[in-house]
Amino acid sequence: MARRVVVIGGGAAGMSAAAKAKRTDPTLEIVVYERSGYVSYGACGFPYAIKGEIARVEDVVVRTPAQFAKQGIQALIRHEVLEIDPVRQTVRVRDLEDGREFVDHWDELVLTTGGQPTRPPLPGLDLPGVFALRSVEEALAIKAWLAEQRPRTGVIIGGGYIGLEMAEALAAHGVALTLVERLPQVLPSFDPDFATQVADELRRQQVDLRVGQPVQGIVGDERVRGVVVDGETIPAEIVILAAGVRPSAALAQAAGIALGPTGAVAVDDRQRTNLPHVWAAGDVAEALHRVTGKPAWIPLGTTANKQGRVAGENLAGGDARFGGIAGTTVVKVFDLEAAISGLSLARAQAEGFNATAVSATAYSRAHYMPGHQPITVSLVFDQTTRRLLGGQLVGREGVAKRIDTVAAALQAGWTVDEFAELDLSYAPPFAPVWDPLLVAANLARR
């Protein structure tokens, strides 16, 4: 009899695992249970679909259940897994359309339940016009609200990646925005001087930015009317809750699958959990951080795709390993790009490194070329070992792919001196003769 694989969650990690498993061993019987109405979508595209840069929200869907069926993968939408029995190797599933429950057997189980928005204990969270942003359905609901209600005012709760991207998206609809972040800065994974540049851009774009101010409540009647911050009610005809995400690990935990120190499912570099034949990947799982050497939880689409593939290959009898993460992330905030890889200075010091940072500003192109833009680069390194620990970049062009060079250096485990020896590309339309990365590295060298 064919071995049966059950995948819980049809996002990027789950569908990558399913597809890779089927390619590796075509005899496998694979079923994916997905609670929402869509599988295989890139949630990272939602802000651009809401903004209107992408015509339809559904365009972010990579493949439909019908397309997976042609590959021999059964993807069942609107099916929620309620319970995992690791001894009997079964799951209990509810069909959300008719409420019917059934039990399915698995030989291999893949946990790709993803993450979910943090819901702070606030009154008014359930008012119409208050949205989070994880599913296609939520993205569609925001788009419909914008089209039908035409909100003139809005509040975004949270200054992380999603909050910042949603600021750009809502501003494009003419919504007068307030962004509230309880921490003293936006983008808490960045050092303060970088967060300040992002904050400046938000203000330049007419976003009323309130940092260091927790939200006290959301008010309204038949729909949202405002958000209470520091005793003041800020008018809001739309509210986006983007106050962080956490791993959707309750199902796993209830089944005795071990979580790691971050609260996500602990996995090894094969994506194995503590239970035999149970794998985890994507936003529900941890990943080894190459710089700290410790498990980290940095939920990102790239990691989800890679881990999913590794889980899929291994459960099908292959031998793949996931090389870990460097914590590379980039975000577009209106006309600004901000990127990080590795550790910020604050984080590096908190991790016990003898860390310091150098910072330089240089141009994205040769100084005599039209359109050149300043890029600020910070390199964090250990003063004892001189090892590079992280890098941050901010600027109006040429930031996103420059951070990849930092990611490579972190993977290589270089010192800042080795980093300074890089033979980076140069031509006047693309870089100055001393690339901003090297200008910073030369400062560290002294």
Restricted to residues 334-373, the positions that interact with its own copies (CB under 8 A) are: 337, 339, 341, 366, 368-370
Q: Least separation, in Å, of the C-beta of 186 and its own copies?
A: 16
Question: What 3-state DSSP class applies to 254?
Answer: helix
CA distance linking residue 285 with residue 273, whole number of Å: 9
Using rule CB under 8 A, residue 422 touches its own copies: yes
Using rule CB under 8 A, residue 408 touches its own copies: yes
44 is catalytic: yes
Binding test (CB under 8 A) with its own copies, winner from 11, 45, 160, 188: 45
Using rule CB under 8 A, residue 2 touches its own copies: no
Question: What 3-state DSSP class applies to 7?
Answer: strand
Rank residues 158 and 436 by Cβ distance to its own copies and give the closer one.
436
Binding test (CB under 8 A) with its own copies, winner from 126, 323, 335, 354: 323
CA distance linking residue 55 with residue 353, whole number of Å: 47
Using rule CB under 8 A, residue 12 touches its own copies: yes
Rank residues 6 and 21 by Cβ distance to its own copies and give the closer one.
21
Q: Which of 4, 37, 44, 400 is catalytic?
A: 44
Using rule CB under 8 A, residue 319 touches its own copies: no
Q: Least separation, in Å, of the C-beta of 86 and its own copies?
A: 30
C-alpha neighbours within 13 Å on the C-beta side of residue 126: 1
Give the relative orientation of helices 301-315 and 12-24 as an angle to the nearest 10 degrees. Answer: 30
Angle subtended at Cα 287 by Cα 284 and Cα 288, rounded to the nearest 5 degrees: 160
**Of 197, 193, 196, 131, the residue nearest 359 (C-alpha):** 193
Which region, judged by CB under 8 A, interacts with its own copies, from 54-62, 76-84, 88-96, 190-198?
54-62
Asked if residues 129 and 223 have their Cβ atoms less than 8 Å apart, the reply is yes
| Biggest CA-to-CA distance, the chain | 70
Q: Least separation, in Å, of the C-beta of 313 and its own copies?
A: 11
Backbone angles phi and psi of 109, in degrees to 5 = -120, 135
**Of 262, 252, 324, 313, the residue nearest 287 (C-alpha):** 324
Between strands 79-85 and 90-95, the pairing is antiparallel
Rank residues 106 and 419 by Cβ distance to its own copies and give the closer one.
419
Using rule CB under 8 A, residue 142 touches its own copies: no
**Of 131, 195, 193, the residue nearest 160 (C-alpha):** 195
Give the relative orientation of helices 192-204 and 161-171 as an angle to the nearest 10 degrees. Answer: 10
CA distance linking residue 398 with residue 400, whole number of Å: 6
Using rule CB under 8 A, residue 427 touches its own copies: yes
176: buried, middle or exposed (CB in 10 Å: 19+, 13-18, 0-12)?
middle
Rank residues 54 and 125 by Cβ distance to its own copies and give the closer one.
54
Restricted to residues 152-191, the positions that interact with its own copies (CB under 8 A) are: none
Binding test (CB under 8 A) with its own copies, winner from 133, 242, 331, 389: 331
Residues constituting the chain: 446
Q: DSSP letters of 63-122?
A: --HHHHHHTTEEEESSEEEEEEETTTTEEEEEETTT--EEEEE-SEEEE---EEE---S-
Angle subtended at Cα 72 by Cα 66 and Cα 75, rounded to the nearest 5 degrees: 50
Using rule CB under 8 A, residue 374 touches its own copies: no
Using rule CB under 8 A, residue 396 touches its own copies: no
The radius of gyration computed from the CA coordinates of the chain, to the nearest angstrom, equals 23
Binding test (CB under 8 A) with its own copies, winner from 190, 297, 363, 414: 414
Restricted to residues 271-290, the positions that interact with its own copies (CB under 8 A) are: 290
Using rule CB under 8 A, residue 405 touches its own copies: yes
Rank residues 13 and 255 by Cβ distance to its own copies and give the closer one.
13
Rank residues 144 and 427 by Cβ distance to its own copies and give the closer one.
427
Using rule CB under 8 A, residue 389 touches its own copies: no
Which region, judged by CB under 8 A, interacts with its own copies, from 85-93, 141-149, 343-351, 415-423?
415-423
Restricted to residues 58-117, the positions that interact with its own copies (CB under 8 A) are: 59-60
Which region, judged by CB under 8 A, interacts with its own copies, from 37-45, 93-101, 209-217, 247-255?
37-45
Between strands 224-229 and 232-235, the pairing is antiparallel
Which region, judged by CB under 8 A, interacts with its own copies, from 86-94, 123-131, 151-159, 416-424?
416-424
Residue 266 carries which DSSP code?
P
**Of 106, 208, 196, the residue nearest 154 (C-alpha):** 208
Which region, judged by CB under 8 A, interacts with its own copies, from 121-129, 150-158, 225-233, 422-430?
422-430
Rank residues 1 and 368 by Cβ distance to its own copies and give the closer one.
368
218, two tokens = 């959301």
Where do runs of H (alpha helix) occur along 205-300? Answer: 250-254
Q: Which residues carry out catalysis?
A: 44
Judged by the rule CB under 8 A, the positions of this chain that interact with its own copies are: 12, 42, 44-45, 48-49, 53-54, 59-60, 290, 300-303, 305, 322-332, 337, 339, 341, 366, 368-370, 398, 400-405, 407-409, 411-412, 414, 418, 421-431, 433-435, 437
